[in-house]
Amino acid sequence: MRTFDLSPLLRSSVGFDHLNHLLETAARLDETAPSYPPYNIEKQSDDRYRITMAVAGFEESDIELTAKGQTLLIAGKIRKEEAKVEYLHHGIAGRSFERRFELAEHIRVDRASLANGLLHVDLVREIPEAMKPRTIKIEAQAEPRLIESKAA
């Protein structure tokens, strides 16, 4: 198992301790991680992203999206088949799933849509006004006033 020593980074920074958790989670993921359903993550611009997930056979009512903190959970619950079907080939997976995505700070879900068996989840980065860079005006300092002394 891989381990990452972030102590040099953490000595000179504040609030980045969650990076250690993210790296440990990434190290635990390997080829045995579930690959169903397949998905893409697209970067559409500097502040816009899209997760596209192949969910053939699912309807809007079968899929639940939950954003809690900085985690997006996408879960699909397959409805029960009413009639028993005899398959000659069963290649379309029709099983329930649960996918978690860790979102960076200030990323929020903008909207979600389902079309042609693809679930699209649009994400947007919204940096609060107080955290955006701002220019500080440098004011000219007033000239010091000299106090004149009256000679007696």
With 70 as the cut, is the pLDDT of residue 84 above it? yes
26 occurs within a structural domain? yes
112 — pLDDT class (breaks 50, 70, 90): very high
CA distances from 72 to 8, 75, 92, 124 (A): 31, 10, 25, 13
Looking up residue 72, the CATH number of its domain turns out to be: 2.60.40.790
d(CA 151, CA 30): 89
* Cβ neighbours of residue 93 closer than 8 Å, sequence gap 6 or more: 36, 37
- Specify whether 17 is located in the same domain as 44: no
What is the mean predicted confidence (pLDDT) over 84-88? 84
Task: Give the CA radius of gyration of the chain.
Answer: 27
The predicted structure's pLDDT at residue 131 = 80
**Is the same domain home to 10 and 57?**
no
Mean per-residue pLDDT over the chain, rounded: 81
- Identify the domain containing residue 13 by its residue range: 1-33
Mark whether 72 and 121 lie in a shared domain: yes
Choice between 143 and 30, residue whose per-residue pLDDT is larger: 143
